[in-house]
Structure 1
Amino acid sequence: MDDHTTPAEAAEVLDAGAAELRAMLGDDWEVAVEPEAASPHGGDMGWDAVIRLTSRHDSIFTELLVDVRTRVTPKDAAGLITSKALLVRKINRNTRLMVFAPWISPKTQEELRRREIDYLDLTGNVSLRVTRPAVIIHTQGADRAPASHRAPSSKPMLTGPAAGRLVRLLADVKPPYRATDLAKSAGLSTAYVSKLLDSLEDQLLIERDNKVIVHVDWQGLLRTRAGTLDLAHHSKPVGMLAPMGIRSVIERLVEADGFVAGSEILVTGSYAARAVAPIAVGGQLMIYTVPHDDASLTRLAQELGLMPVPEGADVLVLAPWDLSVLHRPVRYDQYWQVGLSQLVLDCLSGPGRMPAEGEKVLEFMATNEDNWRLDDLARARRHRTSNPGTGPQELF
């Protein structure tokens, strides 16, 4: 039982979990909670109860030492829970540790399975593997915490523009660095950045040595952030038609070198992904533009040969919900597009085949990490200027 779980809460989760086990195993099995292990002193040994699974056919049984928690993070799984599991295995190699919780996140489930630790949550996420008697259960429940199971937390989540700025910095720039350095570079408060870093550390998305970030799981970070986004909702797309074809629009973008009618233009979505890691043809051309008002969109349409249409658009003009979306652009295939980390966020949160394209871009990034990740935050503060008179800056 963790420090945030009361005995009453632990008893409630334990009873509900044991009931779920009985329902899954059926009448051929007896599932019993050992009364003495379930007493208030049971947690003194590092676990909260012992559940005995007994086969009614041959009376062979196994015991599960249960660690009951109201909240469990990937950091818990990799740290304290793993230590308990190792202790259990030293005591009896045939006895297993099992975690009970109201809800266990997919990332935490992955960490537990990696360490061969069983788990059960009250939404139906279960992993149990016993050799003798033979019991193998693996079911999937909710991949997001139900509202009734969400523990209150003062830590910010990976939602909103401010989190987006920090995520992109963490992905784009190799550590080491501190919260104060990130806050200064992103234009955010140190207090906010510190709290968000605490949350990311709980999710094993970053690692710190004292106060210095020494490792970033940038792929997991981008996937987690993308899970909070919906490209169509956040970017307020305006549909347009290219009567002369998309290729003619791209040619004009190449000629304009990223600035059209006084607006900064960056390509994203399928066409940008294809330039990096081609897997398909076709699809809509998506471009970000700033500013995004009616007058600017009219000038943009005239310069690029586009026609606004209510449906059947082959070009979508997007509005960045934060200017950090436009930071650190790159030039591929002669035209400017959003940085690779932003491209992944857009694709993974987009419709249709875009998430698959985002995964291909992630593969490209993993293979070529030294080519796109910057060595220090000072370089990250330099991004393409919005003044067309000085021209763009190509990062690599």
Structure 2
Amino acid sequence: MDNDELTPASLLDQGLTALFHLLGPEWTLTPRPDRESHSGADVIVQMQAQGDSSYAQLLVDLKTSVTPRLVEEVLLPKLRLIRQVNQYTNLMIMTLWLSRKTQDLLREHGISYLDLTGNVSLRVSRPAIVIYTEGATRAPRTVAHEPSKTTLAGPKAVRLIRLLADVRPPYQAKELADASGLSLPYVSRLLDTLEDQLLIRRDKRTIFDVDWQNLLRARAAQDDLLRHHSYAGMLAPNGVAAVMNGIRGLPAAGFDGVAITGSWAAHHFAPVSAGGQLMLYVARWLTVDDLADDLGLLPVQENADVLLLQARDQVVFERTVHIGGVQHVALSQVVLDCLAGPGRMPAEGEAVLEYMANHHDEWRAFGIQDVRRKSQP
């Protein structure tokens, strides 16, 4: 059911049905006013077990969407007011879907929640009720985005997200637009979205703080490395070491158009595992077949040990680093690719995030003036 089709009454009905199944048939849930007559955003729900004179009271706030910013600016003041009036009334949010960051923030402040994908957290002290379930980690397709909101999906968003992660604030939208090559209107809209998610903080027009770790996680949650990229599977008959030597021997244009990402890039900074497929980004000015010939690779349909990924946007070649004489993507790109990758790659991405948090000065620029867009043939 899309946002524009979901009425408060139908959201309440579906939410109470889901909650009843979690509690069991010995419980009764009584909304006041009656759910059929309810048309507003809030409703009181009384929860009572059979044979028990005590009951819990929920103030259910019905919303089609909830962002971390809404939690901070709207729900927390409401919670403080509720606790001043009646400490035994519990605030619960019912909505279509909640992001992981929003769930964490709600639990941190003792606000219960239930979304229609199965993410539920309910803690009541009297009578004692504790329920926690996990549902969808990504927004279902039926959850329509607001038309006015720019999302973190798509290759353009990566340019801005990478820049916000790679460069310490303060800066303003105009500086970010100039440095990323994106239009100022697009940058402004995406910054509004990031502010709603509390991934950036602004003082008027100036960004003074970036939650770069959760920013990278949020972007990766919108991506699927192998589903959203064209790639060719290859076999390295002489081993990965021979491929590395082949890359070092490429002419300048070929060398600059190849960059290692994924597990092999992560291993250098966070060796939580060994092996894995060697993933190489290939720039648009190179032909995959010619590069495979130059590196001694053979195309295969299964059991590839090398993947040649066609870069959707040249941002993957921004701020690359050279390790062992071979070009690697920047750490922020390694994280994005690993978190959106298959198998053990997400765990490797988290390990790289931990490394980055402990080595800020080694990878994060101190200002926009310290980064330049790489010229692209």
Same fold by TM-score greater than 0.5: yes
- Whole-Å Cα distance in 2 between the matches of residues 357 and 139 of structure 1? 26
Once the two structures are superposed, residues 27-64 of structure 1 have per-residue CA deviations (whole angstroms, 9 ceiling, x without a partner) of 32222122399988x97xxx722111123222111211
- Whole-Å Cα distance in 2 between the matches of residues 25 and 293 of structure 1? 59
- Whole-Å Cα distance in 2 between the matches of residues 27 and 354 of structure 1? 43
Q: How does 1:260-271 map to 2 (within 5 A)?
A: 261=254, 264-271=257-264
Once the two structures are superposed, residues 157-216 of structure 1 have per-residue CA deviations (whole angstroms, 9 ceiling, x without a partner) of 111121111111011111111111111111111111111111111111111111111111
Once the two structures are superposed, residues 333-368 of structure 1 have per-residue CA deviations (whole angstroms, 9 ceiling, x without a partner) of 442200001111111122222222111111111111
Corresponding residue number in structure 1 for 2:280: 287
Partner of 1:267, secondary structure, is strand
Q: Is the Cα–Cα contact under 8 Å of residues 256 and 327 in structure 2 kept in the other structure? A: no
- Whole-Å Cα distance in 2 between the matches of residues 297 and 56 of structure 1? 71
Give 1:102 shift: 2.7
Q: Structure 1 residue 207 and structure 2 residue 201: aligned?
A: yes
Amino acid corresponding to residue 355 of structure 1 in structure 2: P
Give 1:279 shift: 1.7
Q: Structure 1 residue 98 and structure 2 residue 96: aligned?
A: no
Amino acid corresponding to residue 282 of structure 1 in structure 2: G
Q: How does 1:308-319 map to 2 (within 5 A)?
A: 308-319=299-310
Amino acid corresponding to residue 313 of structure 2 in structure 1: D
Once the two structures are superposed, residues 268-306 of structure 1 have per-residue CA deviations (whole angstroms, 9 ceiling, x without a partner) of 121111111112222222222224554x642x3344333
Number of equivalences: 375
Q: Is the Cα–Cα contact under 8 Å of residues 92 and 114 in structure 2 kept in the other structure? A: yes
Alpha carbons of 1:289 and 1:13: their partners in 2 closer, same or farther (altered >3 Å)?
closer
Q: How does 1:1-396 map to 2 (within 5 A)?
A: 9-35=7-33, 48-254=42-248, 259=252, 261=254, 264-291=257-284, 293-294=286-287, 297-298=289-290, 300-381=291-372, 383=374
Alpha carbons of 1:56 and 1:355: their partners in 2 closer, same or farther (altered >3 Å)?
same
Once the two structures are superposed, residues 218-263 of structure 1 have per-residue CA deviations (whole angstroms, 9 ceiling, x without a partner) of 111111111222222333222333232211222343455x846565
- Whole-Å Cα distance in 2 between the matches of residues 307 and 23 of structure 1? 55
Mean alpha-carbon deviation: is it higher for 11-20 or for 313-322?
11-20
The gaps in structure 2 that reach 5 residues or longer are none
The gaps in structure 1 that reach 5 residues or longer are 388-396
Partner of 1:177, secondary structure, is coil
Partner of 1:240, secondary structure, is strand
- Whole-Å Cα distance in 2 between the matches of residues 185 and 334 of structure 1? 27
Give 1:330 shift: 1.1
Partner of 2:105, secondary structure, is helix
- Whole-Å Cα distance in 2 between the matches of residues 302 and 22 of structure 1? 62
Q: Is the Cα–Cα contact under 8 Å of residues 28 and 48 in structure 2 kept in the other structure? A: yes
Q: Is the Cα–Cα contact under 8 Å of residues 261 and 303 in structure 1 kept in the other structure? A: no
State the TM-score, normalized to the length of structure 2: 0.90
Once the two structures are superposed, residues 55-85 of structure 1 have per-residue CA deviations (whole angstroms, 9 ceiling, x without a partner) of 3222111211222212211111122101111
Alpha carbons of 1:168 and 1:15: their partners in 2 closer, same or farther (altered >3 Å)?
same
- Whole-Å Cα distance in 1 between the matches of residues 328 and 358 of structure 2? 20
Give 1:103 shift: 2.5
- Whole-Å Cα distance in 1 between the matches of residues 236 and 145 of structure 2? 49
Alpha carbons of 1:75 and 1:386: their partners in 2 closer, same or farther (altered >3 Å)?
closer
Mean alpha-carbon deviation: is it higher for 279-288 or for 18-27?
18-27
- Whole-Å Cα distance in 2 between the matches of residues 21 and 288 of structure 1? 47
Q: Is the Cα–Cα contact under 8 Å of residues 47 and 56 in structure 2 kept in the other structure? A: yes
Q: Is the Cα–Cα contact under 8 Å of residues 257 and 285 in structure 2 kept in the other structure? A: no
Q: Is the Cα–Cα contact under 8 Å of residues 264 and 386 in structure 1 kept in the other structure? A: no
Amino acid corresponding to residue 295 of structure 2 in structure 1: L
Give 1:105 shift: 2.5
Once the two structures are superposed, residues 104-138 of structure 1 have per-residue CA deviations (whole angstroms, 9 ceiling, x without a partner) of 22221111001110112233222111111111111
- Percent sequence identity is 47
Amino acid corresponding to residue 329 of structure 1 in structure 2: T
Once the two structures are superposed, residues 6-38 of structure 1 have per-residue CA deviations (whole angstroms, 9 ceiling, x without a partner) of 9x9223322332333333323322221223999
Q: Is the Cα–Cα contact under 8 Å of residues 234 and 306 in structure 2 kept in the other structure? A: yes
Q: Is the Cα–Cα contact under 8 Å of residues 32 and 51 in structure 1 kept in the other structure? A: yes
